[in-house]
Amino acid sequence: MDTKAKHTALIKAEAKRLGFLSCGISRAEFLEEEAPRLERWLKNNMQGAMSYMENHFDKRLDPTKLVDGARSVISVLLNYYPEETQPEGTYKISKYAYGQDYHHVIKGKLRQLQEFISAEIGEVQGRAFVDSAPVLDKAWAARSGLGWMGKHTNLLTQQLGSFYFIAELITDLDLEYDHPVTDHCGTCTACIDACPTQAIVQPYMVDGSKCISYFTIELREEIPAAVQGQFDDWIFGCDVCQDVCPWNRFSKPHSEPLFNPRPELLSLTKNDWEEISGEVFKKVFQKSAVKRTRYSGLQRNINFVKNPGG
């Protein structure tokens, strides 16, 4: 086994040991196919108020602008599909936000992977990315053979569907590269048909400014009246396009204790949500991604959903 193959095998085995679902590697180079797609998306204002998406255009497409001498992008997936979901008939939050904020959980694991690489292979330049910099996670994961980009633009795998986080280590290490897998969406349009706000404007393109996740998390001002009555009880994020995807029949519960929800979360009724105090919000969502919308934002979302007629 040559050095490159040996290093690649070591890294993948350690990623597995750390609890990642899978690990794939691709050459760190300019994302030629994604460039016109991203440009078109921005030109059509599909980023809405997410003006940060307009920044660092070059860095989003070229990992060598993020890490000097970058040669490899190591992509990893971490499952977050919960054992138990919220009961029917209550206000809903995305499953990814049930437990502790994934940024911290994954960053910790990636740090361990980096330390392992340094210990086993030697001094290697690299940076870990978890949604924290202009990196096109899904594009890199797809290039690394971890899945294909579904029509809802989430990464899909035949074995496990799409309920997982994506993160990467960009490094100057020379490794063996994986190849993309084929698309298995076929003629299915379940996600497009089910989207409550018609945010999937065409297969493989989501208008971010129409997505329930955008309205309930990213948007700081008032939610436009035009989408009143279309949120289907979602108050933080939305899982509809993933819930209806046939490939998610194969989702299996995660085994990461930090992603387990606080018991209080699963027992909250609509009434409890409507009466939630700042104190309870702090307690239940202490380390959760839900904190991103703040207490006032959550109240705004609940009031918006509670009055479908405006």
Torsion angle, alpha carbons of 146, 151, 154, 159, to 10: -40
Exactly one of 62, 131, 183, 232 is catalytic; name it.
131
Q: Does 131 participate in catalysis according to the annotation?
A: yes
Give me the DSSP letters along 3-57.
Answer: HHHHHHHHHHHHHHHTT-SEEEEEE----TTHHHHHHHHHHTTTTTT-GGGGS-H
∠ Cα 169 163 190 (to 5°) = 130
Measured distance CA(182)–CA(97) in Å, rounded: 30
Q: Using the structure block, give the residue that is written with the tokens 């989430």.
A: 154
Residue 91 CA to residue 293 CA, distance in Å, equals 15
DSSP lists the bridge partners of residue 149 as 155
Long-range contacts of 182-185 (CB under 8 A, 24+ apart): 182/148, 183/148, 183/149, 184/148, 184/156, 184/158, 184/247, 185/148, 185/150, 185/151, 185/156
In this structure, are residues 81 and 252 in contact, taking their beta carbons and an 8 Å threshold?
yes
Tokens of 225: 């009246």
- Residues counted in the chain: 310
Catalytic residues: 131
